[in-house]
């Protein structure tokens, strides 16, 4: 009798695992990817190291609801920087480029929305 109970428990565990995987896949259903066609991405020669810096500054001075501008004089400023390091190498006859991405961001609120206190500890 112990053997049947063990099988039932394993079967229940399998069913619960299947449900968990299905739920996780449902959550990830909104993910999307960019298609890369041949010659769209040509890697650098093996042994090449590249350091890249991406920056974006944005100021938002209006808010909208239902297509209409809301009253007030808001200000939200964001600065985003991404430091990217990539090193190309040959593994098994394929050139691969492992990458490290290090993001930095700052949000500052002002004028009418200053009371929201959208601030990061390092922003002034």
Give, for all 124 residues of the chain, the pLDDT tens digit.
455 555 555 677 777 777 877 777 666 556 666 676 776 678 889 999 999 999 999 988 887 888 888 888 888 888 999 999 999 999 999 999 999 999 999 888 777 766 665 455 554 4
Structure confidence at residue 1 (pLDDT): 47
Buried b (16+ CB within 10 A) or exposed e, 59-75: eeeeeeeeeeeeeeebe
> Would the pTM count as exceeding 0.75?
no
- For the record, the structure tokens of 60 come out as 């938002």
Instruction: Round to whole Å and give the CA distance between 106 and 122.
Output: 8
Torsion 118-121-123-124 (CA) sign: positive
* Among 49, 53, 55, 54, CA closest to 86: 49
């Amino acid at each position: 009798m112990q053997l049947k109970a063990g099988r039932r428990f394993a079967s229940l565990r399998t069913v619960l695992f299947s449900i968990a995987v299905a739920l996780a896949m449902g959550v990830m259903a909104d993910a999307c990817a960019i298609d890369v066609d041949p010659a769209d991405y040509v890697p650098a020669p093996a042994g090449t190291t590249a350091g890249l810096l991406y920056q974006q500054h944005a100021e938002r001075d209006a808010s909208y609801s239902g297509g209409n501008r809301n009253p007030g004089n808001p200000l939200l400023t964001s600065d985003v920087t991404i430091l990217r390091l990539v090193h190309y190498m040959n593994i098994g006859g394929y050139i691969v480029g492992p990458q490290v991405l290090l993001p930095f961001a700052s949000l500052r609120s002002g004028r009418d929305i200053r009371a929201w206190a959208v601030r990061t500890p390092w922003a002034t």
